[in-house]
Amino acid sequence: MQWTFLAYFICINVVYLALNFIAMFAILRHAREHGAGFRVKNFADYQPPVSILVPAHNEERTIVSTVRSMLRLNYPNFEVVVVNDGSTDATLQTVVDAFGLVEFPEAYRSRLKTEPVRRIFASPQGGRVRVVDKDNGGKADALNAGINTARYPLFCVVDADCILQQDSLARVVQPFLEDASMIATGGVIRIVNGCKVKDGLLSKVELPDKVLPLVQTVEYLRAFLFGRLGWSPINALLIISGAFGVFYKERVIAAGGYKGDLVGEDMEMVVRLHNRMLEEKRPYKIAFVPDPICWTEVPSDLRSLYNQRVRWQQGLAESLFGNWRLMFRRNGGTVGWVAYPFMLVFECLGPVIEVFGYLSVIALGLMGMLSTQAFFAFLFASVGLGVLLSVNAMMLEEISFHLYPRPRQQLKLFLVAVLENFGYRQMTSLFRVVGLVRWVVKLRRRSKWGHMHRSAEWQEHEPQHATRVAATGPAVS
């Protein structure tokens, strides 16, 4: 048993360190090629039109700020399609009133099967915003309805509680201009808790005041700035966040759209695209872009965090085991021979090993069979490597974005990077085990919306008349 834990510890940290080095070189190269020299106006004549899909269910508190941030994007040709998935609150009426929309007799082409669409709203002045009102069917079903409604060849999925920066869309679409085989890209997700948003724009960047969102800030830095960035250069990226990703529409339709019987529809789509493209022996790329930032609200209470992590882990298991043919296939490349096995063993089944290890340490300690020296040596190595990875992610953030430049912010993040190893990590591992158990016993038969308590404290008061001008006019520069 000891050798099993030691082998697990060595393997997972070796891969994490390798991803760290790959991410470091990738972000330095990206900063050199797309940093100060990148100008949206240089590519305006070549950028393809994009449909931004915003699936929404009971999001009346944040939906207007989200749409308003999109209307301020520096992008020449895009539309915003809000899909109201049977909300029981005032989500639909809030969007209709805020953007001056009316019911419009638009033809609906049902290329992907969805729950019935009731009506479509649009601006009488021909603005960018449209709303699809449909019966409740879950997030995957809402996305499929949005794809059916989308007018453009690329679609960007954005959650209804997210805020985009003005150049985010231009940057995340850039790989499609550089490589004709690109079929999907994803961007960085950052935490909006503690920040301030006014009139759809981020007016102040600050760290969260509450403990849970603050710990998740460090988590997100690790996950995006070396977790996903490390897999991207070797075309082995298996996760594009459902909060911010761009896809080639026809490839998604050919793959059958999002599956409505899953809770992890976003990851499953990416894994299925890998599998399908390899089956068809088509050249393709799926990339992560380290600088288009999407700001989202994260759970600030334990109940919401529990529901989120259980849902994520169940979705991870569904995505991997539902596409098991991808692993070790003859032409699987790095994604089939390295990324998939790693995600299966260390990310999907890893929490079981971790929790069993914690219980074993407790049991051995109670029986007096635990070597104190070995325990503290292993603890020091585990915490030390965890802090090293977090600090390196903070360094990559400072190189690329400079969002938390003040010494006080850096010190706070460093302290959280140390303290998260004592309690928080063990707690989330337990949550993830519950997610695996749910997947095994099939407690969820159909995809449902993951409800989270939203404080929306980051929103400042915004006048409605300004929103209507932005909705019907051109994109704000």
Is residue 471 scored above 70 in pLDDT?
no
Is residue 47 scored above 60 in pLDDT?
yes
Contacts of 172 (CB under 8 A, 6+ apart): 156, 185, 186, 187, 244, 245, 246, 289, 292
Is residue 458 scored above 90 in pLDDT?
no
Q: What is the pLDDT of residue 459?
A: 59
User: Does residue 287 contact residue 335 with C-beta atoms inside 8 Å?
Assistant: no
The residue-averaged pLDDT of 144-167 equals: 93
In the structure, what pLDDT confidence band is assigned to residue 473 with cuts at 50, 70 and 90?
Answer: very low
Q: What is the pLDDT of residue 264?
A: 85
In sequence order, what are the beta bridge partners of 202? 197
Q: How far apart are CA 229 and CA 397, in angstroms?
A: 12
User: Does residue 158 contact residue 164 with C-beta atoms inside 8 Å?
Assistant: yes
Question: Tokens 């749409």, residue?
Answer: 67
Could you read off the pLDDT of 105-149 as tens digits, one per residue?
888 888 999 999 999 999 887 789 999 999 999 999 999 999 999
The more confident residue out of 452 and 422 is: 422
Domain 39-301+453-472 of CATH type 3.40.50.2000: no
The residue-averaged pLDDT of 365-369 equals: 81
Could you read off the pLDDT of 190-228 as tens digits, one per residue?
998 888 887 777 878 889 989 999 999 999 988 887 788
Q: How far apart are CA 147 and CA 156, in angstroms?
A: 10
Give CB contacts under 8 A, 24+ apart, made by 330-336. 331/278, 331/281, 332/278, 333/235, 333/236, 333/278, 334/234, 334/235, 334/236, 335/235, 335/236, 335/237, 335/238, 335/274, 335/278, 336/274, 336/278
In the structure, what pLDDT confidence band is assigned to residue 468 with cuts at 50, 70 and 90?
Answer: very low
Q: How far apart are CA 82 and CA 69, in angstroms?
A: 13
Question: How many Cα atoms are found within 13 Å in the side-chain-facing hemisphere of 113?
Answer: 4
In the structure, what pLDDT confidence band is assigned to residue 343 with cuts at 50, 70 and 90?
Answer: very high
pTM for this model (two decimals): 0.86
Q: How many CB atoms lie within 10 A of CB 395?
A: 15
Q: What is the pLDDT of residue 475?
A: 38
Q: How far apart are CA 160 and CA 71, in angstroms?
A: 14
| DSSP for residue 291 | E
Q: Report domain extents, the chain.
A: 39-301+453-472
Instruction: With H, G, I as helix, E, B as strand and everything else as coil, classify residue 447.
Output: coil
Is residue 292 scored above 80 in pLDDT?
no
Q: How far apart are CA 449 and CA 48, in angstroms?
A: 31
Q: What is the pLDDT of residue 428?
A: 94
Q: What is the pLDDT of residue 388?
A: 85
In the structure, what pLDDT confidence band is assigned to residue 454 with cuts at 50, 70 and 90?
Answer: low
The more confident residue out of 312 and 45 is: 312
Percent of the chain with pLDDT over 90: 48
Q: How far apart are CA 97 and CA 468, in angstroms?
A: 9
Could you read off the pLDDT of 236-287 as tens digits, one per residue?
999 998 889 999 999 999 999 999 888 888 899 999 999 999 999 999 999 9
The residue-averaged pLDDT of 398-410 equals: 80
Is residue 472 scored above 70 in pLDDT?
no
In the structure, what pLDDT confidence band is assigned to residue 391 with cuts at 50, 70 and 90?
Answer: confident
User: Does residue 427 contact residue 119 with C-beta atoms inside 8 Å?
Assistant: no
Q: What is the pLDDT of residue 44?
A: 67
Is residue 10 scored above 60 in pLDDT?
yes
